[in-house]
Amino acid sequence: MVVAPATPAGSAAAPGGQRHVICMKWGTKYGPEYVNRLYAMVRRHLSGDFHFVCLTDNGAGIRREVQCLPIPPLDLPAGIPERGWTKLVTFSADLHGLRGTALFLDVDVVVTGSLDDFFTQPGEFLIIHDYKRPWRITGNSSVYRFELGAHPDVLEYFRGHFAEIREQFRNEQAYLSDFLHRQGKLTYWPAAWCPSFKYHGIPAWPSNYWKAPFVPADARIVIFHGECNPPDALAGRRNRRFRYIRPATWVAEHWHE
């Protein structure tokens, strides 16, 4: 497998038509090891050339194959809860000059299968369908694909109507899904590709007390949302507030450099 070398920060962007994998890291919740492991998982599961970008406020400790670029300003009013709104800057009309197809991945996902089809699956904008309320159009933005620069109106409308958007939508993925659905551009990944560890990877009660968590059948990317991240799943959980989980030893097989 040949992997395209990272373009040094500040140099010319990758040519149009290239495949990009984009992630984001800001603040202190996630260390550079999350980005480094995500890159390694993508490298193992995506054939051919690709360009890996991390939009971040701190590139210290991130491996050299990853191009670290600044997070464009979202210009939210001071004191507003973040709620993932920052992801909307990926829809900038000009995201650091990048052109081509972008697959966005949250830094805390675990890649377990081939990613090739994520770049060939038909659809103008693809996202995970909401797990908990599948009757709604809302997607989970842990994994989404789009053409860079093709949807600048997503960000422009958000900046011009933030007050009313915040009243109507709880977070970025609800707004994003609604906006692109109204334009007829919203499509979902096949359900089996991006299962939830929380909803699909933990044995049902009471067998969760003696059976270990598992990788759901046909999973390509396992999504960690809520209170449990990959290291939490790997360690297991025994407190009373949340559901008992035996150590998910399978995480160690994939979540590494």
CATH number at 87 reads 3.90.550.10
- The residue behind tokens 């990926």 is 90
pLDDT surpasses 60 at 2: no
* Residues 9 and 66 sit within 8 Å (Cβ to Cβ): no
Lowest model confidence (mean pLDDT) among 40-49, 200-209, 234-243: 234-243
Q: What is the 3-state secondary structure (H, E, C) of the chain?
A: CCCCCCCCCCCCCCCCCCEEEEEEECCCCCCHHHHHHHHHHHHHHCCCCCEEEEEECCCCCCCCCCEEECCCCCCCCCCCCCCCHHHHHHHCCCCCCCCCEEEEECCCCEECCCCHHHHCCCCCEEEEECCCCCCCCCEEEEEEEEECCCCHHHHHHHHHCHHHHHHHCCCHHHHHHHHHHHCCCEEECCCCCCCEHHHHCCCCCCHHHCCCCCCCCCCCEEECCCCCCHHHHHHCECCCCCCCECCCCHHHHHCCC
Instruction: Identify the domain containing residue 29 by its residue range.
Output: 19-188
Percentage of the chain lying above the pLDDT 70 cut: 91
The predicted pLDDT at position 242 comes to 74
In a domain, 38, yes or no: yes
The predicted pLDDT at position 203 comes to 95
pLDDT surpasses 60 at 243: yes
How large is the average pLDDT for residues 90-98?
97
The predicted pLDDT at position 1 comes to 30
The predicted pLDDT at position 240 comes to 65
Instruction: For 135-175, write each residue's pLDDT tens digit.
Output: 899 999 999 999 999 999 999 999 999 989 989 999 999 99
Torsion of CA 201, 21, 43, 193, to 10 degrees: 30
In a domain, 37, yes or no: yes
pLDDT surpasses 60 at 12: no
How large is the average pLDDT for residues 113-134?
94
In a domain, 71, yes or no: yes
The predicted pLDDT at position 55 comes to 98
The predicted pLDDT at position 82 comes to 66
The predicted pLDDT at position 71 comes to 96
In a domain, 32, yes or no: yes
Residue 256: other Cβ atoms inside 10 A: 12
Burial 88-98 (b: 16+ CB within 10 A, else e): bbbbbeebbeb
* pLDDT confidence band for 37 (50 / 70 / 90): very high
Instruction: For 229-239, write each residue's pLDDT tens digit.
Output: 999 999 998 76
In a domain, 146, yes or no: yes
The predicted pLDDT at position 59 comes to 97
In a domain, 41, yes or no: yes
Q: Which residues pair with 139 in a beta bridge?
A: 129
Tokens of 249: 């030893």
Q: What is the mean pLDDT of the chain?
A: 90
Instruction: For strands 139-147 and 101-105, give the pairing.
Output: antiparallel
The predicted pLDDT at position 237 comes to 84
In a domain, 136, yes or no: yes
**88 to 104, 118, 173: CA distances (angstroms):** 11, 20, 9
Instruction: For 49-92, write each residue's pLDDT tens digit.
Output: 999 999 999 999 999 999 999 999 987 777 776 668 999 999 99
Domain count of the chain?
Answer: 1
pLDDT surpasses 50 at 5: no
The predicted pLDDT at position 189 comes to 98
**Residues 224, 43: Cα–Cα separation, whole Å:** 20
How large is the average pLDDT for residues 186-190?
98
